[in-house]
């Protein structure tokens, strides 16, 4: 989006806009390194990561005179290097149905992401079934049905307030009977009552395992890029609640650059399976480390 492209990244904020960047050369000294480190920290990349990247740049470039473009290239390559190992698409197994649990706080983009994934997997020839596991929010169930219709995928529901674990169990039976390749199970995301949610997720997992010891095969945590640093505590929380196997970060189409993904990569090393880049069904992209780094640094 042109509007997002106009938003300066980390270096844009340090050196001003493009014209100035072309001509000026700056010495890589303590002042510059400190400014870079500050910018990385305020971009949510995390203190440890910022310090390490700064140390690397110091080691390779201290005392050199660099143009802003050259500084940018150095930073982009450092950040790309950190992000490359976590840029991993969601693994697909021969297991049928492959059970994918979707977790995350309300509003993060779970419903939307499930719809987008259902559409992508369907296009790839997979038979997909969705289970509306947030049985306590009627609106969430309706929304998921809308997305199911869009993706042309059945959405299994249960009466409002009924046990999500029973729905998950029934959904597995149904998915198996239908010969589905993938069963995506939505879950509740009300963190206000953590012990309830923990209980609920644990029960879903327990019941799923009665059908298939190896399930759930993936547990995707959906994170909202606009919540910045908050993502760090959310990953910690959901790792306690469920065995998170991968991340999807939504809303990277706006002004949020998702710098926290760098801190997350450093701290948790969880694979980033995809990113949300809009509200439409096709707005789910693979995570591209270099493109991400350029947008963050630029």
Q: Summarize as ranges the residues that interact with ligand GDP (CB under 6 A).
A: 104, 106-112, 143, 189, 250-251, 253-254, 276-279, 283
In the complex, minimum distance from the CB of residue 148 to ligand GDP, in angstroms, rounded to a whole number: 13
Nearest residue to ligand GDP on Cβ basis: 276
Name which of 58 and 226 has its Cβ closer to ligand GDP. 226
Name the packing angle between helices 164-177 and 194-211 (round to 10°).
Answer: 30
Name which of 8 and 278 has its Cβ closer to ligand GDP. 278
In the complex, minimum distance from the CB of residue 66 to ligand GDP, in angstroms, rounded to a whole number: 35
Tokens standing for 264?
């997350």
Name which of 189 and 289 has its Cβ closer to ligand GDP. 189
Name the packing angle between helices 260-268 and 230-241 (round to 10°).
Answer: 40
Q: Is 226 exposed, middle or buried (0-12, 13-18, 19+ CB in 10 A)?
A: middle
Name which of 3 and 59 has its Cβ closer to ligand GDP. 3
In the complex, minimum distance from the CB of residue 207 to ligand GDP, in angstroms, rounded to a whole number: 22
> What does the alpha-carbon distance between residue 10 and residue 191 come to, in Å, rounded to a whole number?
32
In the complex, minimum distance from the CB of residue 172 to ligand GDP, in angstroms, rounded to a whole number: 21
According to DSSP H, which parts of 124-268 are helical?
Answer: 138-151, 164-177, 194-211, 230-241, 260-268
Q: Please tell me whether 188 is known to bind a ligand.
A: yes
Q: Please tell me whether 80 is known to bind a ligand.
A: no
φ, ψ of residue 96 in degrees (nearest 5): -130, 125
Known binding-site residue numbers: 104-111, 186-190, 250-253
């Amino acid at each position: 989006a042109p509007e997002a492209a106009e938003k300066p990244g980390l270096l844009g904020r340090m050196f001003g806009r493009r014209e100035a960047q072309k001509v000026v050369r700056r010495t890589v000294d303590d002042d510059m390194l400190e400014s870079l480190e500050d910018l990385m920290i305020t971009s949510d990349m995390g203190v440890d990561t910022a310090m390490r990247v700064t140390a690397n740049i110091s080691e390779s470039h201290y005392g050199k005179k660099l143009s802003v473009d050259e500084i940018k290239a150095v930073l982009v390559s450092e950040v790309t290097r950190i992000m490359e190992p976590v840029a991993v698409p969601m693994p697909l197994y021969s297991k049928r149905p492959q059970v994918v649990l979707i977790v995350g706080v309300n509003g993060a983009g779970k419903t939307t992401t499930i719809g987008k994934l259902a559409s992508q997997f369907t296009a790839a020839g997979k038979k997909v079934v969705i289970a509306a596991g947030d049985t306590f929010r009627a609106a969430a169930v309706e929304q998921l049905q809308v997305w199911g219709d869009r993706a042309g995928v059945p959405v299994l529901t249960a009466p409002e307030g009924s046990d999500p674990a029973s729905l998950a169990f029934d959904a597995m039976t149904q998915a198996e009977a239908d010969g589905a390749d993938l069963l995506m199970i939505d879950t509740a995301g009300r963190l206000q009552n953590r012990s309830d949610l923990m209980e609920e997720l644990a029960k879903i997992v327990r019941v799923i395992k009665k059908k298939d010891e190896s399930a759930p095969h993936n547990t995707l945590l959906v994170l909202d890029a606009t919540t910045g640093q908050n993502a760090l505590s959310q990953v910690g929380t959901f790792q306690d609640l469920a065995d998170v196997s991968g991340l999807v970060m939504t809303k990277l189409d706006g002004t949020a650059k998702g710098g926290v993904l760098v801190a997350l990569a450093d701290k948790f090393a969880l694979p980033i399976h995809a990113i949300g880049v809009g509200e439409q069904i096709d707005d789910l992209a693979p995570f591209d480390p270099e493109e991400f780094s350029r947008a963050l640094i630029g």
